[in-house]
Structure 1
Amino acid sequence: MAKKIIMIACVSGLSSALLVSKMKQAAQKNNKDYQIITGSISEIETQLPTIQPDVLLLGPQIQYLKEEVQKKTSTANIPVAVINMQDYAMMDGEKVLAQAESLLNN
């Protein structure tokens, strides 16, 4: 099975870098093989065609952009969700990874 790509987007891509690290640790601990990347919301439009993520999670600080992002991802059938604010604030890699996996399984 091909490696699944999980993309996390936030305002600049910096605040989600630690979360991505925690998610990678959680994936490794559970023997999951995912490519987990981060990017800024302004890069999404240019990155989507080249990266082709299987799921896109948005940082809670940009949840107001969800509908706009879904318009860009709907043709490629990329599910989009907003990360739970508490999970993001706590940098809970396991919970955010579980959220991504639930979208991958739909």
Structure 2
Amino acid sequence: MKTIVLVCAAGMSTSLLVTKMKRAAKIKSIEVNIFAVSVPEVDLTVKNKNIDVLLLAPQVKYKKKFLEELVADKNIPMEDINVQYYGKMDGEQVLEQALTLIDSN
């Protein structure tokens, strides 16, 4: 089972996206663990969980360098969530983005 973590500021809109991603995964019979964490929670999450990919919500893009340093030694791929997918809350497309990133790693 793959673990996808979305990093956000407070978790409101990202929680909705997580729900939509889980629904898309269920429809496609893909077993994944998807959850969202805020920037302050990311450090502990990276240390304590086996993460396959980290996706950044648009509102935390300014933290990208910090997050890259955080995951550098863990070989966790990381990418900004496509802004259009995020704006539309397109769980299926964000799920595909995450899975593509995992496969390319």
Q: Which runs of 4+ in 1 moved over 6 A?
A: none
Cα RMSD between the aligned structures? 0.8
Q: How many residues align?
A: 104
Identity %: 39
- Work out the CA distance in 2 between the residues paired with 1:82 and 1:72: 15
Aligned partner of 2:31: which letter?
D
The answer for unaligned runs of 5 or more in structure 2 is none
What amino acid is the match of 2:41?
E
Mapped to 2, the partners of 1:71 and 1:14 lie a distance apart of 26
Q: Which residue of the partner structure matches residue 97 of structure 1? A: 95
What TM-score results when the alignment is normalised by the length of structure 2? 0.95
SS of 2:11's equivalent? coil
**Structure 1 match to 2:52:** 54
Which of 73, 79, 82 is equivalent to 1:81?
79
2-side partners of 1:79 and 1:66: how far apart?
12
Output the CA distance in 2 between the equivalents of 1:104 and 1:37. Answer: 16
* CA distance, structure 2, for counterparts of residue 53 and residue 6 of structure 1: 6
TM-score, with length taken from structure 1: 0.94
Partner Cα separation in structure 1 for residue 38 and residue 26 of structure 2: 25
